[in-house]
Amino acid sequence: MNDSIKLSKQRRWSESKAHSSWQIFKIMAEFVDGFEALAKLGPCISIFGSARTQPGHLYYELATEIARGLAEEGFGIISGGGPGIMEAANKGAQLGGGKSVGLNIELPFEQHANPYIDRDANLNFDYFFVRKTLFTKYSQGFIMMPGGFGTMDEFFEVATLIQTGKMLQVPLILVGSEYWGGLMDWLKETMLQQSNNISKEDLDLLQVADTPKEVVEQVLHFYTKHPLQPNF
């Protein structure tokens, strides 16, 4: 490697470190803005799922009815703020007369704020990890609708936090036994029985439901035995 290339790389590395230092302030600002906005809310349920699910699809309509049912029981609804299942969740929140919150993330494609978010509860983020912290801190339950990599990431993030005791146990409900059945079978047969990488009690953290009524009943039943409180 010649000297000019070495100097160029060193300069880029120094500039990157300087940028990272200033980046801390932007991260702090996102946390502060999010904490201030969401601390005003009462008990909320987060609903996750695919941004690609269109109105009229079974899971879009299910998410709408689930959100409406939970809102009618006094829960606010938090979504990722975008289209698809996220839109359905916010739509259901408004239909049920509940608080409708959107934690939007800036992405190069597919993500835009949906029209069903309350004006004072539409937050935008650059950083996934800040956004996920706010989901976990201010939600008293998590509804996992069918989705892709992002939904799986959020599902296993929440499951890990509960499993390791970093977050209080809250309802964690997978909606759609047909969609989630294969994953549940793999968790039981491969992760538990074949490799012993989880315990049977870990699987007890998860529930599966197919109807809005089942979801609402599971959440309400959980909170007949546990107090509603911040997660950490």
Ranges of beta strands (E only) in 33-144 are 44-48, 76-79, 100-105, 122-125, 142-144
CA–CA distance, 87 with 63 (Å, rounded to integer) = 9
Q: In this predicted structure, what is the pLDDT of residue 9? A: 56
Q: In this predicted structure, what is the pLDDT of residue 105? A: 87
pLDDT digits (tens, 9 = 90+) for 87-103: 999 999 999 999 999 99
113 — pLDDT class (breaks 50, 70, 90): confident
Q: In this predicted structure, what is the pLDDT of residue 62? A: 98
Position 1 pLDDT exceeds 60: no
Position 229 pLDDT exceeds 90: no
Q: In this predicted structure, what is the pLDDT of residue 4? A: 57
Task: Summarize the confidence of residues 66-70 as an average pLDDT.
Answer: 98
Say if pTM beats, i.e. exceeds, 0.85: yes
Q: In this predicted structure, what is the pLDDT of residue 194? A: 94
Q: What is the largest CA-CA distance in the chain?
A: 70
Task: Summarize the confidence of residues 14-39 as an average pLDDT.
Answer: 82
Position 193 pLDDT exceeds 90: yes
For residue 125, the cross-strand partners are: 105
pLDDT digits (tens, 9 = 90+) for 29-66: 999 999 999 998 999 999 999 999 999 999 999 999 99
Radius of gyration of the chain (CA): 20
- Higher model confidence: residue 229 or residue 170? 170
Tell me 110's DSSP state: S
Mean pLDDT for the chain overall? 91
Calculate what percentage of the chain has a pLDDT beyond 90.
82
Position 18 pLDDT exceeds 80: no
Position 16 pLDDT exceeds 70: no
215 — pLDDT class (breaks 50, 70, 90): very high
Task: Summarize the confidence of residues 164-170 as an average pLDDT.
Answer: 94
In order of start, what are the domains of the chain with their CATH numbers?
A: 42-222 (3.40.50.450)
CA–CA distance, 144 with 174 (Å, rounded to integer) = 5
Closest by Cα among 85, 64, 226 to 147: 85
Task: Summarize the confidence of residues 126-149 as an average pLDDT.
Answer: 95
